[in-house]
Amino acid sequence: MVYTTSQATVARGITVKIGNDVITEITDDGVPIPQTEVDDIEVTNQDSGDWKEYKAGRKDGGECEIKANAVDGDAGQIALAAAAAAGSTMLFTVTFPSGSVLTFYGTVKTYDHIVEDQILRISSKVKVSGAPTFSTATSALTGMTITGQSISPSFDAGKFKYISTVVTGTTQVVVVPIQAATGAAITVNGATVASGGNGTVQLGNAGTITEIDVIVKELNKAASIYHITVYRA
């Protein structure tokens, strides 16, 4: 008898991000994975005979539930609660043990605390918006600068968090992202910016912090978020 080795992937070590923040301690039944549904459009007509006829309509990613052990001070859970309070549509990134990545935009509808098996947990309902993307590769920038300012650490396509400190008199910064692939879609705090173009961001008052998200999405690849924290002295 010949035995073959299963190629099954153990679902352990999956990470979930909202924006650029990891949601820690996701439970086994709390990983948000869109389940596609398709509208049935009836096209039955006088020539259909005894059977109704249908065509596929628009697709719907459905609604996901995120569940995790409640962790006070967890950046991902705090971001999830804030998104629910504002009804925000956020980018979610699910990374599997194999390295494959699922990304989708979802509107955070609810954020609640629940008790299961004597454990305090959080539960959040997310309505998928648009088409999810599953990929074995992620999008990347080849360069990113802030005109006239420095960022730390030096840009690296595989690093996603940066810091920049500007002088008190600086009221805005100009982010210049360089795409890794022709046709990549880039946004700077939600505004579309061409590769090599200027993403202008107004800063808060002196002594405040401004957060900037640069999102790049290449065709057939998962989106990536580069996050810049700007300190205005």
H helix intervals, the chain: 75-86
Instruction: Answer with the one of 135, 163, 190 that is the final residue of a domain.
Output: 135
Confidence category of residue 64, pLDDT binned at 50, 70, 90: very high
7 within a domain of the structure (yes/no): no
pLDDT tens track for 135-187:
888 899 999 999 999 999 999 998 999 999 999 999 999 999 998 778 889 99
Same domain, 151 and 95: no
Same domain, 66 and 145: no
153 Cβ partners below 8 Å, 6+ apart? Answer: 159, 162
Same domain, 153 and 206: yes
Same domain, 161 and 116: no
Query: Which pLDDT value is given to residue 40?
Result: 96
Query: Which pLDDT value is given to residue 216?
Result: 93
pLDDT tens track for 89-124:
999 999 998 788 999 999 999 999 999 999 999 999
194 within a domain of the structure (yes/no): yes
Q: What is the pTM of this model?
A: 0.74
User: Is the predicted pLDDT of residue 50 greater than 90, yes or no?
Assistant: yes
Alpha-carbon distance values, 104 to 68, 80, 168, 224 (Å): 19, 15, 38, 11
Over pLDDT 90: what percentage of the chain?
84
4 within a domain of the structure (yes/no): no
Same domain, 125 and 170: no
Strand partners, 191: 188
170 within a domain of the structure (yes/no): yes
User: Is the predicted pLDDT of residue 193 greater than 80, yes or no?
Assistant: yes
Q: Which of 134, 4, 113, 24 is nearest to 77 (CA)?
A: 24
177 within a domain of the structure (yes/no): yes
Same domain, 77 and 157: no
CA dist 52 and 40 (Å) reads 11
Same domain, 71 and 151: no
**How many separate domains does the chain show?**
2
Q: What does the angle CA 83 – CA 85 – CA 89 come to, to the nearest 5 degrees?
A: 35
User: Is the predicted pLDDT of residue 54 greater than 90, yes or no?
Assistant: yes
Tokens 């961001």 belong to residue: 201
Query: Which pLDDT value is given to residue 1?
Result: 63
**Structural domain that includes position 197:** 141-232
By CB atoms closer than 10 A (0-12, 13-18, 19+), residue 61 is: buried
Amino acid at the residue 129: S
Same domain, 106 and 166: no
